[in-house]
Amino acid sequence: MPLDLTPVHMQFPGREIHWLENTGSTMTVAAQLGAAGCPAGTVVVAEEQTAGQGRFGRIWHSERETGLYVSFVLRLSLAEENLRVLAMTLGLAASEAIARTADVECDLRWPNDVLIGDKKCAGILVAVEQTTFVAGIGINVNQTAFPAVLAPIATSLRLATGRPQSREALLVHLIESADSFLRMLETGGKDPVLRMFTRASSYVRGKHVFVEQEGAEIEGVTDGLDESGFLIVRRPDGTRVTIMAGGVRPK
Ligand code: BTN
């Protein structure tokens, strides 16, 4: 069934919310709306994406009427180097929205994966064009199976809880949580976000990980975030490496 946006419009009267039955990527539509001057906080949600964008140029699997595929147009006074912290902020928001909707505790894998156990249930993608940020959030909600390549690493709220979940309730909670965490970032700066992320993520400290970085693989134990939100990894020889980007996976 397509999303019933009635509860969403009731909860956020006056908010610009665009619903698309089918699109390439909500990121593209949100960027176009942003460039055309849409209000801050505009939401773009699609039932299906034919070219859903993930990190590292990957495709985001976007099965029709099953997951939540949302992009927000944000106008923030945030330096571009803080894109990572913005992604972490929205990871916290997605995790809170999932807990409120499905009563499931999520883990956060630096910088922007939302996990249930060791499987990914949501991902965040952020992009910036001058002062307009586009933040995309994909949440696996009611998938009952994934393509073979994703099956070992992906889960959905339905698979995790054993029951279907309301995408409408999740969207309402997601917008509420995103608004509230973004307010925290805007008013308090990155420190409170980094503190909350550190508390909410099992990956930030004491986790044995592999990190792919610029063609090389680093192995070590995570040792917190630095003041910019980069991940510190302590290698077996005791040296500490600052991870700027790259995929982190458990050993
Ligand atoms: C990742 O973990 O690789 C990030 C995935 C982000 C997916 C969302 S779905 C809504 C928005 N539109 C896209 O094309 N991508 C993001």
Q: Do residues 153 and 235 share a domain?
A: no
Q: Do residues 166 and 246 share a domain?
A: no
226: tokens are: 């630095």
Nearest CA to ligand 1 atom 10: 69
pLDDT tens, per residue, the chain with 251 residues = 999 999 999 999 999 999 999 999 999 999 999 999 999 999 999 999 999 999 999 999 999 999 999 999 999 988 888 899 999 999 999 999 999 999 999 999 999 999 999 999 999 999 998 779 999 999 999 999 999 999 999 999 999 999 999 999 999 999 999 999 999 999 999 999 999 999 999 999 999 999 988 788 999 999 999 999 999 999 999 999 999 887 899 98
- CATH number of the CATH domain containing 82: 3.30.930.10
Nearest CA to ligand 1 atom 16: 136
- Please, are residues 139 and 98 in contact by the beta-carbon 8 Å criterion? yes
Q: Do residues 97 and 113 share a domain?
A: yes
5: tokens are: 């946006």
- Beta-carbon neighbour count of residue 51 at 10 Å? 12
- CATH number of the CATH domain containing 225: 2.30.30.100
Q: Is the CB of 165 under 6 A from ligand 1?
A: no
132: tokens are: 């307009």
Q: In what order do the strands lie in the sheet with 113-116?
A: 17-20, 43-46, 68-75, 132-139, 119-129, 113-116, 107-109
Q: Do residues 148 and 33 share a domain?
A: yes
Q: What is the pLDDT of residue 122?
A: 98
Which run of H or of E encompasses 219?
A: strand 216-225
Would 1 be classed as within a structural domain?
no
Q: Is the CB of 87 under 6 A from ligand 1?
A: no
Q: Do residues 95 and 33 share a domain?
A: yes
Q: Do residues 94 and 211 share a domain?
A: no
Q: Tell me 151's DSSP state.
A: T
Q: Do residues 20 and 37 share a domain?
A: yes
CA triple 188-182-47, angle to 5 deg = 170
Kindly give the interhelix angle for 190-200 and 167-188, rounded to the nearest 10 degrees: 130
Q: Is the CB of 136 under 6 A from ligand 1?
A: yes
Residues 6 or more apart whose Cβ sits within 8 Å of residue 206 = 221, 222, 223
What domain range is 193 assigned to?
A: 6-199
Nearest CA to ligand 1 atom 7: 138
- Please, are residues 110 and 201 in contact by the beta-carbon 8 Å criterion? yes
Q: Do residues 33 and 132 share a domain?
A: yes
Q: Do residues 216 and 105 share a domain?
A: no
Specify the number of domains making up the chain.
2
Side chain identity, residue 129: E
Q: What is the pLDDT of residue 55?
A: 94
Q: Do residues 214 and 116 share a domain?
A: no
Nearest CA to ligand 1 atom 8: 138
Q: Do residues 47 and 153 share a domain?
A: yes
Q: Is the CB of 125 under 6 A from ligand 1?
A: yes
